[in-house]
Structure formats: structure tokens, C-alpha cells
Structure 1
Amino acid sequence: MNIVAVVVTRDRPQLLAQALDALVGQTRPPSGIIVVDNASGMETQQLLATRSDVKVCRLEQNLGGAGGFAIGIETALAAGADWIWLMDDDAIARPNALAQLIDVAHDAQPRTGAICSAVWEFGKLAPQHRRNFNPATLAEPSVPFSAYQTKFTGIDTASFVGFLLNAHAAVEVGLPLRKFFLAYDDTEYSLRLGKRGWKVLLAPGSIVDHMRSPLARLRHGPFGIKHYYTLRNQLAVFRHYGRARPWRLWLPMVRYAYVALRDRKISSLSLWRRSIRDSRHITI
């Protein structure tokens, strides 16, 4: 089984070094590691120059997480990967994380498109990374804690933190949408897999620690570019995959309006309005 890990990075060399060491140190290490360097500065370039154990895809322009993962998957497919393990540069896989995913892959049904690790943040389970989706209401509830007591269970959407992608599924459904830049590219991709009949599974025995800062949560202001892309792309995904009445689209708009209003800045409200306007021009 040829498993290629893909890590997308942008100017976080210390975390990247930890992420790469964790991949190399797996009890069942991947066959190869591809790092997509999203136009990082000199410190990251110098780190990668010392790593003979990775293949570096250097981008001279920052294409965001969506563009980085699209290029990484494309590169892994060209290298003959059977499965592609997607990871952010702040994701630290525990030593048996990949072995646990492979164990589930052996038991899973043929149309299994992706198998996902459990994600931990701040020393505890972060269930928001693994969700279900109700197209009639646009609700995105986290997978219940009871699901984490099973060997594996079906889910609807997952972040690209510890996302083991079946190469056959990737060939059939295509690549993540580069125009999303960041945010909701993984949700859209999960729903696309499901729409084409590929299952997405959660394997709770596999654990990845996501080392993001608590201040990185979108509930914190100020309303910035991450909020813009998240709301823009979320609305585009809801319109494409949902069957809900139009008024339900106001719920995420109002949620992000609160963050923008809290800033008490015209620029924040303008960016909020632009995210709603631009969402209507995103085709999936």
C-alpha cells in the first residue's frame, strides 16, 4: 500500500518541523512525504533544504490551503499513491495514527473515499473537525462523542487535518477547489465525495494533535480575511449542496455580522458585506 503524506505549509517552520518528525516517526511511516510550500519565507526554505526525507513543491505565490492541497494531491497521484494523507503544518500525528487508519482501510468497504483521524486541540477532543450535514436545514452538527467509542463510523464532512484520501476517489471526483483559497474547501470536498457515492469515515483510534492557538478561533475578532473566506465559501457550499429555504442562509450571515459589529469598524462591516456578495459568484 503506497501511502503518501501531503503537508501544506506557510511560514510556520517550528511547527512544520514537528509535523514532519511525527510523520517520519510513525510506527507505520508513509512511503513518501510531500511538502507544498505556499511561498514561505527564508526560514521555512532553509528548514526544508535540510530535509532529505521530503519532496518539496515550492510555490512562488500563496495559493492558500485549498490550492496547496490541490497541488499536493495532484503530485501524490502522479507519484502513484494509493492513499494520500492530508495534513496541515500545525498537525502532529501521534505515533500509531497512520497504522490505525490502515487497519480501518483493510476493514472498510470498497467505496471508502476517505478515513479521518480524531483531532485533539488544547488537550482534549475537538469534535468540530468531524461533522454531519443536513441539506434540508444546513445544520452541521459535530459527530457525537458516542461515535468515538467505535472502531469506525460514517460521517459527512471532515477537515483536512489527518484526512486519508483514497486515490481512486480523488481521480474520480477531482481536486479541491483552488478558488476557495482557504476554509470550507475540505467541507466541500467531503460533500463532493459523498455525492459521488464515496464514504467518509472517522477512525477514532487514530489521533492527530492540532496545535493551533485558541486565538485562532473565528469567534475572536477582528473580522479579517479568514472570516471573509469562511463565510463566502460556507454560503457557496450551502447553496450548492443544501435544499433549505433561502432564509436559513441568514443564520451564518448574522453570526459573522456579530463578529464584524463587535469591531466597531466600517472596514469590518464592508468585508462582511463583500463576503456575502462574492459568495454568489462562486460556482461549484
Structure 2
Amino acid sequence: MTAFDPKTATIVVVTYNRTTLLTRLLESIERMDPAPGHLVVIDNASTDDTTAVVESFRDRVPTELVYRRLETNTGGSGGFSEGMRVAYELGSEWIWLMDDDVEVVRDGLALMGKWTPRFRSIQGRRYDFDGSEFYWQYRVAESMAIPIPFAPASFDDSGFKPMNSGCFEGMFIHRDVVAKIGLPDPRFFIYWDDQLYGWLASRETESVIVNEFVLRRTREIKQWDMGIRHMNASSDAYRYYIMRNRAYLQKYYRAVGVYRPLPFAAGTALTFVKELIRLAVVERKVTGTSHLFRGLRDGRVISRDASWKPMPPLEPISTTA
């Protein structure tokens, strides 16, 4: 087994108009030991002082900083797609994705790296804003394309559990897997994109969530506390894309030959009901349902698009020495 070299890893951060949060993340990267070989910051056309903040860290972070400011806001999906592309073209062996509302545990890269001789698609754990252990739904019911909320939270002595999903808040993935499944699909804009990407990765390699706390969330989100599970508040934009992007999931399922109409339709119906519960219980309002229906309507247009194709595999690029 080849020992993990931290310099072969690249951290990819996607940010948009949140310099207070971004500063905390960059400060945590400044303290990292070991540090990655590259840090790629994708700025989704921020209108605040993001550029100045990033540049102020260029000589502070213990790694090569690559900054890309996009001309338009492409959403998390577009940002991570571009960030993955940049990291891949830099020759990175490992790519670690994260939003700007987390900070990295000092030895987080070493904790992830110790699993690299065995796995090629790895998800670490994170602490929530209040310091509690954040529970992430690491498995999906494949036929319905929805997360399984009762997947066990505890780990056995192995320290890992098989997963068939993904989360761009901490996904740690090898370039060989990226080459096979292509870049994240920017057409999603937000939502379902990382679940799909992790699912595609799990079809190519054994994917796992490991019992290593490597990130801390730095943004407080309104939640409905259900014990070990939480339901977060959302927004009208999220409600729209949650329903619209079911059509993209359907397209990918058809492309790989696993689409089953009835279970998938059940998954869409359950997603709709979940969003109604989120509105009523977490956000305590009744407005917002129009965005769910609008998403379904626009999704039907996508589902009928005969010209649609999935993201293509990548051309091999030699890694750096």
C-alpha cells in the first residue's frame, strides 16, 4: 500500500458573498498540519470583498492558492464542477470539497489520508454549529433516489460504513474516480447534485463514510431537532430545485439503466411531502408550495429533452511529479 502524501491533495472551496465565513475557513486552513498541495477557491461571482479577502491569505496559507472568480453565479453545482476541473487539471491525486461555512480540523487531512490506501471515495464526519455530532444520511434508497433517514449512526470497530451517496461538504475523492464519472453536473445549480455524484462514484468504487471528525460547521441553521436527526430550514430557491432536479436524477438513472418508474415516483412524492413538513414544522409558514409545483413543472420539460446527455468521462491528465 502506498503511503498518503498530503501534497497530492487539493482542497476545493466554493464561496458566494460570505467573507466572514470564508475567513474562518481560510484561517483554519492556515493552521492545518499537514497542509494540502493546493487550495482552490471558486468565487461564484460575489459582489462583496471576497477577492480582497482571498488575496490577503495568499501568503498566509501553507499551500499554493488558486483563485477563480466566475462571471456569473453558477450555484454550488457549477462552483464544485469548476473547482473539480481546476483541481483535476492541476494533477491532484485527491480532491477534498467543502463549502465556505465549515472549518477544517487541524489534522483533518492526515485523518482522511490514513484511509486512502483502502478506498477511493471517502466521506469524513463533521461537528455541527453547537459542537454536537452532525448526522449525515450517507445511504440512499436507490430505486427511489432519496436518502434513508434511519441508516445507523453508530460505527463498529472497523471505523467505516459503506455509503452510496455523497456530500460536497467534505467529499474526499480520488482523481481516477473523477475521470470515470466526469465532473459534477453544473445543470443542477443546487440540490441533489452531490447525492448523485456520490452515487455514481459508488458504482465505480467502494465508497465509505469514516468515523473521523474533520470539519466543523460555522453557520447556525434553524432546525427541527428530532434527536440524532435534524431537519433544517430551507428557502424558496431550494424548494424549487429540490423538485425540478428530480428530473435530472431520472435522466441519470435512465442513462445507467436502473430507472424504475413507480419507486422513483414514490421517491418524488415523499420528497414533496417532506418539504411540506419542513414548511409547516421548521419554518412555520404555509407559503412556498408554489415553488415546489413550479419545480415539478420545469422538471417535466427537462424529462422530455431528447438532446440531454450525462456528464462525460474526463480525458486522462498526467499527475504532477
Q: Say yes or no: TM over 0.5.
A: yes
**TM class, shorter-chain normalised?**
0.7 to 0.9
Work out whether 1:252 is the aligned partner of 2:259.
no
In the alignment, which of 202, 205, 208 is matched to residue 194 of structure 1? 202
- State the 1:126 CA deviation: 1.5
Query: What is the TM-score of this pair, normalised by structure 2?
Result: 0.78
- Alignment pair present for 1:231 and 2:237: no
1:115 is matched with which residue? 122
1:50 counterpart residue number: 56
- Mapped partners of 2:233, 2:25: distance in 1: 26
2:154 maps to 146
Measured on the aligned residues, the alpha-carbon RMSD in Å equals: 2.4
> TM-score, normalization: structure 1?
0.87
Relative to structure 1, is the Cα distance of residues 271 and 15 closer, same or farther in structure 2, using a 3 angstrom cutoff?
Answer: same
Q: Is the 8 A contact 1:67 1:177 kept in 2?
A: yes
Equivalent-residue separation in structure 2 for 1:153 and 1:181 (angstroms): 29
Amino acid of the residue matched to residue 194 of structure 2? D
**Aligned mates of 1:18, 1:91 — CA distance in 2:** 8
- Partner amino acid, structure 1, of 2:269: W
**Is residue 2:108 matched to residue 1:97?**
yes
* Cα separation, 2, equivalents of 1:7 and 1:117: 16
How far residue 71 of structure 1 moved from its aligned partner, in angstroms, is 0.5
Paired position in structure 2 for 1:61: 72
Equivalent position amino acid for 1:203 in 2: V
**Conserved 8 A contact 1:232-1:275:** yes
1:152 CA drift (Å)? 2.4
CA distance in 2, matches of 1:183, 1:155: 18
| Structure 1 residues without counterparts, runs of 5 or longer | none
The Cα of 1:86 is off from its aligned counterpart by 0.5
Contact residue 241 and residue 295 of structure 2 kept, 8 A: yes
Gap change, CA 1:238 and 1:206, over 3 Å in 2:
farther
- 1:7 equivalent in alignment to 2:26: no
Aligned length: 275
Q: 1:119 to 1:150 in 2, by over 3 A?
A: farther
Q: Deviations over 1:121-163 (max 9, x none)?
A: 13111112x4112224555225422227642222111211111
Report the CA distance between 1:242 and its aligned residue.
5.4
1:39 & 1:174 partners in 2: Cα distance?
24
1:204 maps to 211
Deviations 1:69-89 (A, max 9, x none): 010010011111000111110
Alpha-carbon spacing, 1:145–1:19, altered in 2? closer, same or farther (3 Å): same
Asked if the contact 1:135/1:242 (under 8 Å) is kept, the reply is: no
SS of residue in 1 equivalent to 2:245: helix
The one of 133, 137, 145 equivalent to 2:140 is 133
Looking at structure 1, the residues matched to 112 and 233 of structure 2 have their Cα atoms a distance apart, in angstroms, of 33
Looking at structure 1, the residues matched to 186 and 144 of structure 2 have their Cα atoms a distance apart, in angstroms, of: 27
